[in-house]
């Protein structure tokens, strides 16, 4: 493909985002920095400068793409093997991302709003999952990996928040229906939204770890994974008093033998799912309900999302999902309330 002549390259670090601008095929001077948090300020700055400019994110940054695409931006992904070596925590700087995009335009992956940063890497994701099947089953037998429970109840889980709009909207529905759920939070979003974290805990829900920047685990060394997980627990601990550090969910369900071995030694439970209505692809609220109801059985773990993009359809679907679970004689519960084999 041909590289866009005008685009913004976005890097991430512990402090937030760094943005470099390319205009007429040339890297501009200096970079701008934005704190983690609502992307309104970042998106507004991009649109004000160049309303039609595209955005390039490197592949360990899985937080921004959905939110930017929901605001009308065209977003490209750039994999790590086209970039210089990155630090243990963070990406290479924005200028390096921009220069790599200019140097290797064929390496840019145009992201589909319905697929996010998985776009163009689905085969790689599935291959990693298949390769690590034996390690996954070994951890499951020891209780260190979970993809569903037993009994009749169903666990509702929400990934990618907290988000000040959609997490609160989800919490409103759960409160109205007297349901407790589990929220797998990213460190970047958690650092910006302690108020939403406090509400999650105050209203009786469970918080799990979903890494800091939402990367594919097969791209990370064990040291990088450790930092992603530890930094996320640290920011969660600073925001709320966590009763436990038990549940971890790998972004996209990505995993390798190497990462699973470390996760098994960490004492956390690697938490997968057996019902995924792909609510993030925005197929319509009714379709999200139908996909969930058609797949859910006793002990199911349902994967939904409260962050990472426009989650209005998830919010609209949630009452129907709750009603259907209860109509089937089950109750939506937190992960730690789900009956487990051998428990």
Pick the catalytic residue: 65, 159, 163, 306? 159
* 3-state SS record for the chain: CCCCCCEEEEEEECCEEEEEEEECCEECCCCEEECCCCCHHHHHHHHHHCCCCEEEEECCCCCCHHHHHHCCCCEEEECHHHCCCCCCCCCCCHHHHHHHHHHCHHHCEECECCCECCCCCHHHHHHHHHHCHHHHHHHHHHCCEECCCCCCCEEEEEECCCCCCHHHHHHHHHHHHCCCCEEEECHHHHHHCHHHHHHHHHCCCEEEECCCCCCCHHHCCHHHHHHHHHHHHHHHHHHCCCCCCCEECCHHHCCCHHHHHHHHHHCCEEECCCECCCHHHCCCHHHHHHHHHHHCCCCCEEEEECCCCCCHHHHHHHHHHHHHHHHCCCCEECHHHCCCCCC
Q: Is residue 159 annotated as a catalytic residue, yes or no?
A: yes
Pick the catalytic residue: 73, 210, 214, 305? 305
Catalytic residues: 159, 305
């Amino acid at each position: 493909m041909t590289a866009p002549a005008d685009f913004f390259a976005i890097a991430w670090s512990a402090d937030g985002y760094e943005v470099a601008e390319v205009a007429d095929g040339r890297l501009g001077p200096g970079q701008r920095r934005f704190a983690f948090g609502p992307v309104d300020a970042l998106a507004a700055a991009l649109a004000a400068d160049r309303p039609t400019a595209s955005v390039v994110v490197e592949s360990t940054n899985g937080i921004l793409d959905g939110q930017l695409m929901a605001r009308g931006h065209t977003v490209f992904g750039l994999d790590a093997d086209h970039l210089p070596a990155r630090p243990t925590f963070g990406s290479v700087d924005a200028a390096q991302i921009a220069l790599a995009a200019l140097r290797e335009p064929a390496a840019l992956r145009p992201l589909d709003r319905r697929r996010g940063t998985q776009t163009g890497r689905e085969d790689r994701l599935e291959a990693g999952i298949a390769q690590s099947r034996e390690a996954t089953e070994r951890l499951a037998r020891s209780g260190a990996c979970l993809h569903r429970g037993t009994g009749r109840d169903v666990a509702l889980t929400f990934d990618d928040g907290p988000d000040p709009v959609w997490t609160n909207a989800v919490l409103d529905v759960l409160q109205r229906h007297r349901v407790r759920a589990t929220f797998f939070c990213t460190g970047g979003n958690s650092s910006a939204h302690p108020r939403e974290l406090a509400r999650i805990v105050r209203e009786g829900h469970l918080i799990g770890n979903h890494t800091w920047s939402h990367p594919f685990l097969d791209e990370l060394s064990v040291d990088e994974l450790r930092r992603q997980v530890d930094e996320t627990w640290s920011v969660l601990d600073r925001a709320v008093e966590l009763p436990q550090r038990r549940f971890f969910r790998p972004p996209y369900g990505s995993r390798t033998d190497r990462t699973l071995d470390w996760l098994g030694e960490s004492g956390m439970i690697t938490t997968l799912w057996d019902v995924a209505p792909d609510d993030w692809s925005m197929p319509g609220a009714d379709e999200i309900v139908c996909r969930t109801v058609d797949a859910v059985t006793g002990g199911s773990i349902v994967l939904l999302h409260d962050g990472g993009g426009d989650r209005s359809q998830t919010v609209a679907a949630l009452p129907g999902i709750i009603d259907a679970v209860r109509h089937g004689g089950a109750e939506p519960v937190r992960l730690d309330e789900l009956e487990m084999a051998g428990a």
